[in-house]
């Protein structure tokens, strides 16, 4: 089993030991994989700038003042190019209380052959799958401050066809994400965000002594929406920057930079850059968005240096419907 798991996810484990990079001694690295086309296109610099359902994974406080929506997020990276990475989210604001969200993300890392340890003959096929179910609550405090909390459950399974040398158990662990947002200007010109993510129990695959700590991360960010006298009134510019630090274990921090240009809040162009990303790599990101009233369609690609060496360019698609 250990060999199979390592083969499934080994391509996504970091090279080096930066603060936001996944470490080989950390479990539940599925929590770190980026999601949300708009967020990825902006270089993942969204702890203060995420919008709608994207915020569930980056900073739960940001849904406090958001609209009602249902969303579908589809991701393809080197680890899921022969499998699946899809997520569904429902966000529902409650008058005078805040907002709640329910989400589920399913990852399938593709099938592998299972061999007999003695004859080395193929005896079956198996896959590693991960399901993350989460509930989020966020509330505003006055006109400028908001706090949010996400409780999530990760369950790993190894579905098998034939005879497989895998565990019949399905490891599970729980974690919490805590987030805060502060609007520094009355017109939302400057927004500050902070999040503490993946705080919870160790993930036990084999036995308790081999349990791995979760990939705890502290994120800090700022988003700016400047107004220029020379800029057409239908054009809006946003810029954001984040710093990501490992809570336990030290290491160099990771950095995220991103920006967005919108025309009439309908057409969007985005770009960003990631330094020491969560899977150990970095590079440019870019994407486009189209808002047609209630329907929002976002697309992004990541020029990830490690994954491109393997001939894969991570691709992200998000469909959000406001109701």
Q: What share of the chain is helix, strand, coil (3-state, %, to 5)?
A: 10, 50, 35
Q: What is the rounded average pLDDT of the residues 250-270?
A: 94
Q: What is the pLDDT of residue 279?
A: 61
Q: Where are the domains of the chain?
A: 2-322
What is the predicted pLDDT for the residue at 16? 37
Cα separations in angstroms, 199 against 150, 173, 246: 10, 11, 12
Kindly report whether the global pTM for this prediction surpasses the value 0.75: yes
Mean pLDDT of 226-244: 92
What end-to-end distance do the CA atoms of the chain give, in Å? Answer: 45
Low-confidence winner among 43-52, 70-79, 214-223, 244-253 (lowest mean pLDDT): 244-253
Q: Which two tokens mark 235?
A: 């054009």
pLDDT at 247 over 60: yes
Which pLDDT value is given to residue 56? Answer: 96
- Between 231 and 194, name the one with better pLDDT: 194
Average pLDDT rounded to a whole number, residues 215-239 = 92
pLDDT classification of 231: cutoffs 50, 70, 90: confident
Q: Give which of 18, 7, 5, 4 is closest to 282, Cα–Cα.
A: 18
Residue 185, pLDDT score: 74
Cα gap 148→80, rounded to integer Å: 30
Q: Please give the pLDDT value at position 187.
A: 64
pLDDT of amino acid 15: 34
Using the predicted structure, report yes or no on whether residue 73 has a pLDDT greater than 90.
yes
For the segment 99-157, what is each residue's pLDDT rounded down to a tens digit? 999 999 999 999 888 877 777 788 888 888 999 999 999 999 998 999 999 999 999 99
> What fold characterizes domain 2-322?
Porin (2.40.160)
Q: 14 pLDDT exceeds 50?
A: no
Please provide the average confidence, as pLDDT, over all residues in the chain.
Answer: 88
Residue 176 confidence (pLDDT) above 90: yes
Half-sphere exposure of 220 (CA within 13 A, CB side): 5
Structure tokens at 231: 């800029």
Length of the chain: 323
Per-residue confidence (pLDDT) for residue 168, from 0 to 100: 67
What distance in Å separates the CA atoms of residue 313 and residue 225, rounded to the nearest whole number?
A: 30
Query: What SS3 class is residue 307?
Result: helix
Phi, psi of 52 (to 5 degrees): 60, -135
| Highest-pLDDT range among 127-141, 162-176, 226-240 | 127-141
For the chain, percent of residues with pLDDT exceeding 90: 62
pLDDT for 6 equals 37
Supply the pLDDT for residue 20. Answer: 58
The pLDDT assigned to 129 comes to 94
- What pLDDT, in 10s, does the model give residues 274-308? 998 876 678 999 999 999 989 999 999 999 877 87
């Amino acid at each position: 089993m250990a060999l199979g798991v390592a083969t499934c996810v080994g391509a996504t484990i970091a090279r080096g030991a930066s603060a936001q990079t996944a470490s080989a001694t950390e479990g539940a690295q599925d929590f770190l994989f980026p999601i949300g086309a708009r967020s990825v296109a902006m270089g993942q610099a969204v702890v203060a700038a995420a919008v709608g359902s994207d915020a569930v994974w980056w900073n739960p406080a940001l849904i406090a003042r958001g609209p009602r929506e249902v969303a579908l997020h589809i991701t393809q990276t080197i680890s899921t190019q022969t499998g699946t990475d899809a997520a569904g989210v429902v966000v529902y604001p409650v008058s005078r209380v805040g907002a709640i969200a329910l989400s589920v993300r399913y990852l399938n890392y593709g099938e592998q052959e299972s061999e007999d340890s003695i004859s080395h003959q193929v005896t079956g096929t198996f896959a590693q799958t991960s399901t993350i179910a989460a509930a989020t609550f966020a509330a505003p405090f006055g006109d400028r401050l908001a706090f949010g909390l996400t409780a999530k459950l990760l369950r790993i399974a190894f579905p098998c066809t034939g005879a497989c040398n895998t565990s019949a158990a399905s490891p599970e662990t729980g974690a919490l994400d805590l987030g805060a947002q502060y609007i520094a200007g009355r017109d939302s010109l400057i927004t500050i965000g902070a999040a503490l993510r993946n705080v919870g129990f160790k993930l036990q695959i084999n036995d308790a002594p081999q349990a791995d700590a979760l990939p705890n991360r502290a994120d800090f960010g700022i988003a700016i929406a400047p107004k220029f006298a020379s800029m057409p009134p239908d054009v809006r510019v946003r810029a954001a920057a984040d710093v990501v630090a490992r809570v336990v274990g030290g290491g160099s921090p990771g950095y995220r930079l991103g920006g967005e240009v919108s025309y009439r809040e309908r057409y969007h162009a985005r770009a960003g850059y990631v330094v020491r990303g969560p899977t150990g790599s970095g590079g440019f990101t870019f994407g486009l968005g189209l808002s047609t009233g209630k329907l929002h369609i976002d697309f992004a690609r990541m020029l990830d240096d490690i994954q491109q060496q393997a001939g894969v360019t991570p691709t992200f698609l998000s469909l959000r419907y406001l109701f």
